[in-house]
Amino acid sequence: MGRQASQPANQRLTHSLTSLPFQCVPILGRGFETGGYKCECRQGYEYPFEDPITYFDGQLMEAEFVNMVMDKETKFDMLKCRLAGAAKSGLSLLALVVVMLVGVQAIRR
């Protein structure tokens, strides 16, 4: 009976973890120590910073989570993957406007 009662909670946890924009995987060589994992953005999302490292380190994630729980200043909200191409869409719009302005100038001549 106890197993049946916990099954919906397990399903909810699994669903909430799979709906996150990132997934955490172990880092080889770190074993089962605290923060021995990295969180990588799932397909369709991208790492939001321009760094040579493209994942969130588990030690950083845990330290920022502890700060959040203790009501200290935290950067935890910055540790999120963004939709892939989101930063580029503004650039595409800018390029379209520039092309249109150049076209209008060419027509006026």
Burial, 108: exposed, middle or buried (Cβ in 10 Å; 0-12, 13-18, 19+)? exposed
Contact 39, 17 (CB under 8 A): no
Structure tokens at 52: 């040579």
Digit-coded pLDDT (tens) for 21-45? 888 899 888 888 888 999 999 988 8
Digit-coded pLDDT (tens) for 42-54? 988 888 888 888 8
Domain parsing of the chain, residue ranges: 2-84
Q: Is the pTM of this model over 0.75?
A: no
Digit-coded pLDDT (tens) for 58-94? 998 889 889 888 999 888 777 888 888 755 555 566 6
Coil vs helix vs strand at 45: strand
